Amino acid sequence: MGAASATLSILAGAALGIGIEDGRWTSLAWSGLLASLLCALVCLPVRLSMMLALFTLALAHGLSAVDRRLPEGLAQQTLSLEGRIVELEWREDGSARLVLVLDSCAPIDSSLPGCARLSRVRLSWFAPPELAVGERWRVSARLRPAHGLANPDAFDYGAWLMRQSIGATGGVRAAPGAVRLAAPRASARAWLERRVSTHIEAPAALRWARGLVLGDASAFGPSDWSLLNDTGTTHLVVVSGMHVGMVSLWALGAARLAARLFTPGSWRQARWPWLLALGVSFCYVALSGFGPPATRAWVMAVAVAWAASGQHAFASFTGWWLALGLLVLFDPLVILRPGLWLSFIAVAALLIGWRWRRRRSGPLALLHTQLTLGVLLDGAALFSFGRLAPLSLPLNLVAIPWVTMVLMPLGLLGTLCALLPSVEPARTIWLLFALAVAAFEGVLALAAGAAPGWEPPAARVLPIAALMVSIGTLWLLPGFSLRWRLVVSIALLPLVLAPLRSPQLPEGAFRLTLYDVGQGQLAEIETRSHRLLYDAGPRTFGGFVALERLWPPGRRFDLAVISHADLDHAGGVAALLDRHRVARWRAPLLESLRLPPTLAATLAFSACRAGEAWRWDGVTFRFLWPPVEEPLSSEENQRSCVLSIEGEGGRVLLLGDIDQRIEHRLLPVLSAPLVAMVSAHHGSASSSARALLVRARPQHVLHSAGYFNAFRHPADAAVRRIDEWAGCQWNTAIDGALRLTVGAGGGRVEAERNPRGVGPECVGVSSSP
């Protein structure tokens, strides 16, 4: 059975297993898989049997990997966790965020079901004791299943948690108290890190030593990653195929030199240098934590060494397929990580580009390969991450040789010298290493200041990425004439030069996007040529602002309405001012914006009051609350700016956080039916009065609520009332961001997540998530 067919079988099984998200099918799937395996082994030819066996194994492993999430019935319950800290991050406020690999998980309430399948959790710990990676702890925590905000063209935190095999997130509770069960285990990596750190004084040099030599990516902080991302050099600090290949070549060269000196007559036939090189590189991969790129490189190195040492002549791609198959077989979730595919694309491009090249050596060939491969991979990275480093190509022409030929040799040599009794050789080498790191970081800082990372508009990402990948591939592949390459490259340029226009809304139509921002609210309303923002979303006590992840910097709003001053509606105002442009502001009071007086005085602000109306592109906007003739309520929620939007296809109502008392006062100005209504106060029990629903008869009710939020919004009572008098209900906690388009044909809602409720047109929300 070929390596390609075996790997494709593994990929198919793993992908299918991960795609089955409903844990109720797991036991049934296991039974069917076992029966299929037995049948295949008995009835089918050997090759087909092996393919089916690998497919079955990968499918079973994929199902098991997906089924590691916390059961929803245990959300917000107090659980007792025992496990080992594998990642630790300290925040500026003294709190910690850590990843715990669990040995046991059980609810404090013994009447609840168990959570033994949960294997990894991410915890926040406020006012923690002294912590260290590798320690074992028993803590009590409240968790919720791994989940993230789902917004168009934004980072998917939930998918990231899944790729990291994290099944739940939550916080450590003060009681029952935490207990340290064991100190970090003694390991060669920890011992070596202590030895190295005694010889290095510069913090930057210590970070790079831990990253390059020991594969400890946690040594780099947020500012370091920002610098590396802006310059396109992130791949240089994570132990990858390039690092493993260089270590293998150096070890092989040293071993073959020794063989030539001691056995000059038969040094070319000696096989022990190959085994020694593989052993040294394996130790290096083990120190780095067996990351996918490093493991892939080592498996391929084994295949190359086997063939080059005269044992067997493998096909060019045998090692590539073998490495990919083994990685996916042992960790199916690895197929969800873009870094894996970028790594394998790079190696595949090199194999294809150099296999038929007439001249495979020389500086010009290396320069050509680096440039073309850089364009191809930058395009692939842009497609995967939506971000491009403008100076990535020229910087990597210098950075890759500097890291591989200067920093890595110094780092490895300094590590070996750190094992010697004498201190001076190690100190000298690490001093040179620190100078090399300082020079390198200085160049990166200058480049990042001159041309920081660029996030193109979402509509531009695919055409720019396609252009870069196409041109990179065209110039990397051998066998084409220079004239043909130039002609095709010029012909491809219209992919990015042609103006891209999203479908423009017709006169009288509008689009409302209710973003998934957790427990808070943020809605964007667009007409043919105008854009309005209703609320700015929450800011958590930990400092997270959801608004910062929704759009690239520089978005322009003709008007921003902050319904009231509560932190879940006005928490993103500062980030809005810092990152975007707002022409005018409305709020019940200027104080609702919570800005410094000097800044507030410069804003084009006026209070929202009932009766104020304006018209954009055939769409009428009108404030229905608070009234002009009476003073503002002392209750913040009751001050909320209530906004009505009416176009050719119907009317939409945004109610802020008012309760049923104010809803009753709005009845005289309402007309039926409403196309949609954003529920008041996130669907709390005190909102969505029956009288309002009977009068308005909304076709759609949109709830903006957080996943398993502490307030249990939307409340069961409100959901039942709405279900009686409205059409469809939607919830950002379940459906992600909601896009309501209102035109001549009425209103249509599209959800960012696939609907999980009943009915083809809407999700029936019967209880709070």
Q: How does pLDDT run across 597-635, given as a tens digit for each residue?
A: 877 778 899 999 999 999 999 999 999 999 998 889 889
Distance set, CA 618 to CA 190, 373, 505, 587, 621 (Å): 67, 51, 11, 24, 10
Residue 693 vs residue 59, higher pLDDT: 693
Residues 6+ apart with CB under 8 A from 24: none
Reported as a pLDDT band with limits 50, 70 and 90, residue 84 is very high
Give the residue from 353, 358, 278, 355 showing the smallest Cα distance to 311. 278
Whether the pLDDT of residue 766 is over 50: the answer is no
Distance set, CA 309 to CA 78, 80, 297 (Å): 58, 54, 18
- Domains, the chain: 3-66 (no CATH), 72-182 (2.40.50.140), 510-751 (3.60.15.10)
Whether the pLDDT of residue 3 is over 90: the answer is no
Reported as a pLDDT band with limits 50, 70 and 90, residue 769 is very low
Reported as a pLDDT band with limits 50, 70 and 90, residue 35 is low
pLDDT of residue 37: 57
Reported as a pLDDT band with limits 50, 70 and 90, residue 404 is confident
Q: Of 363-367, 488-492, 716-720, where does mean pLDDT reach its minimum? A: 363-367
pTM of the model: 0.81
pLDDT of residue 26: 45
**Residue 172 DSSP SS3:** strand
Reported as a pLDDT band with limits 50, 70 and 90, residue 486 is confident
Distance set, CA 46 to CA 49, 50, 96 (Å): 5, 6, 53
What value does the mean pLDDT take over residues 100-127?
Answer: 91
pLDDT in tens, 115-137: 888 999 999 998 899 998 889 99
By CB atoms closer than 10 A (0-12, 13-18, 19+), residue 71 is middle
- Which pair of structure tokens corresponds to residue 151? 């917004």
Dihedral of alpha carbons 214, 216, 222, 226, sign = positive
What value does the mean pLDDT take over residues 194-201?
Answer: 84
Reported as a pLDDT band with limits 50, 70 and 90, residue 311 is low
Distance CA 285, CA 272 (A): 20
Q: Report yes or no: 250 and 273 within 8 Å, Cβ to Cβ.
A: no
Residue 380 vs residue 718, higher pLDDT: 718
What value does the mean pLDDT take over residues 534-561?
Answer: 90
Quick one: DSSP state of residue 133? T
Distance CA 143, CA 102 (A): 13
Q: For all residues of the chain together, what is the average pLDDT?
A: 83
Residues 6+ apart with CB under 8 A from 92: none
Q: Report yes or no: 607 and 589 within 8 Å, Cβ to Cβ.
A: yes
DSSP state letters, 33-63: HHHHHHHHHHHS-HHHHHHHHHHHHHHHHHH
Residue 47 vs residue 604, higher pLDDT: 604
pLDDT of residue 240: 67
Reported as a pLDDT band with limits 50, 70 and 90, residue 537 is very high
Reported as a pLDDT band with limits 50, 70 and 90, residue 68 is confident
**Residue 182 DSSP SS3:** strand
Distance CA 275, CA 286 (A): 16
Round the CA-based radius of gyration of the chain to a whole number and report it: 30
Residues 6+ apart with CB under 8 A from 700: 675, 676, 677, 726, 727, 728, 729, 730, 740, 747, 749, 762
Distance CA 161, CA 70 (A): 12
Q: Which residues of 145-184 are buried (b: 16+ CB within 10 A; e: fewer)?
A: bbbbbbbeebeeebeebbbbbbbbbbebbeeeebeeeeee
What value does the mean pLDDT take over residues 455-472?
Answer: 84
Q: Of 39-53, 116-130, 339-353, 621-635, where does mean pLDDT reach its minimum? A: 39-53
